Amino acid sequence: MTKDVKAEFTIPLPGYYISEPDPLETTDREHVFTLSQATQVYMLAADDAEKKNSQATQVYMLAADDAEKKNRWMEVLDRCAKV
């Protein structure tokens, strides 16, 4: 029997995207996929004369034991993110 482990944090999935990793990002793990959320960030200058629009992105890289589990995790997480 395995011991239950307390989660260090939770991630509310609505608004996240599940995808294959960017080909430019390298990892030594196989069966990797990403969970990411892009957030619009607006920066205003002190005098409001200049507004800058940029995106801040939170990305988690996850790995499964095999391709079948990876595909299943991606499918389930994608479904949960669209709720």
Instruction: Give per-residue pLDDT as tens, 16-55.
Output: 999 998 888 778 899 999 999 866 555 555 555 555 556 6
Other beta carbons within 10 Å of 62: 16
Res 49: pLDDT: 53
* Higher pLDDT among residues 1 and 80, named by residue: 80
Q: Which band of pLDDT confidence, cut at 50, 70 and 90, is reported for residue 15? A: confident
pTM exceeds 0.75, yes or no: no
- Contact between 11 and 35 (Cβ < 8 Å): yes
In the prediction, which pLDDT does 58 show?
84
Report yes or no: 13 and 82 within 8 Å, Cβ to Cβ: no
